[in-house]
Structure 1
C-alpha cells in the first residue's frame, strides 16, 4: 500500500501542510494557527460570554492545552480574562482592540486559504466533500 492509498495518512498530510502554511503566514503577527483559531472563534461570538471551558469543548482540547493558548494570547495582548461578577468560579475571555485590528487580515486569510483548498472543485463537489468528511469524523468519533 502506498501513502496515497491510505485515507488516514492523506488526511494527516493535508492537516500537517495546512498547519505549516498557516503558521508561516501568521508568524508576522506572532501567532500560531491554534491561537488564530481561538481568536476567530471569539470574534464570531464577540457578543456572547465565552469561558475557557466553552473553548475546550469546541476545540476538543484539554483544560491545560486551552489554558496555555489563552495565557499566550493574553501575554501578546489579544485577549483578557475576567471572573464572572455573579460566580467567581467562572472566567470569561474577551477580545482586545489589538485583535480587532487583526480581524480584516484574519477574514482575508481564511477566505484565501479556503479558495486554495477548493480550487478546481465545483460547489457540488465541495458540498459532497464536506458531507464525506463529516461522516469520516463521526466514524472515527464513534470508534
Structure 2
C-alpha cells in the first residue's frame, strides 16, 4: 500500500512547487511573475510567427481576460507590444520588444541552469525516458 509520500502525484506537486518558488525568486529581480515569464518564452520560441491573443489563450489554456491582464502588465514594462494584424484589423498580434528579447536571454540562462541541476546524475537515456514517461502521464491525466 502506498503512503502519501510515495505517490507519483505528490512528487510531481513537490517538484512543481519547488520550481515555482525558485523561478519566482529569480523573476522578482526583474519584477516579473512566472506567468509573465512563460509568455515571454512562448513569444520568443515562436520567433517571427504572428502570435494572436487566441494563440496565447489556447496554448496556456487560460481565459481571454487572464491573457489580457498578463499582456497589459508586460506591455507596461515595455517587454511586449501589440499591433493590429495585417490581414485582419480586428485581431492583435503580440511581439517581444528589444527589451523583452534581452530579458529572455537573461531568463533563459536561469532556465538552462535549473534544467541541468534537475537532470544531474541522470544519463541521457534516463532523461529521454523521463521525458517520454512524463508526456504519457500528462496525456493520461488530461483524459480524466
- TM-score when normalising by structure 2: 0.92
- Equivalence map 1:52-91=2 (5 Å): 52-91=53-92
The answer to which of 78-87 and 130-139 deviates more is 78-87
Gaps of 5+ in 1: none
> Number of aligned pairs?
143
1:125 aligns with 2:126: yes
State how 1:36-55 maps to structure 2 within 5 Å: 36-55=37-56
Deviation of the 1:107 alpha carbon: 2.2
TM-aligned CA deviation for residue 90 of structure 1: 0.8
TM-score (norm 1): 0.93
Q: Distance in 1 between matches of 2:104 and 2:88?
A: 31
Ranges in structure 2 where 5+ consecutive residues have no aligned partner: none
Q: After TM superposition, which residue ranges in structure 1, 4 or more long, deviate above 6 angstroms?
A: none
Q: 2:133, 2:20 → 1: CA distance? A: 21
How far apart, CA to CA, are the structure 1 residues paired with 2:26 and 2:79?
Answer: 17
What is the CA deviation profile of residues 66-117 of structure 1, one whole-angstrom value per residue up to 9, with x for unaligned ones?
1211111111110011222332221110111111221321221111011111
Over aligned residue pairs, what C-alpha RMSD do you find?
Answer: 1.3
2:109 equivalent in structure 1: 108
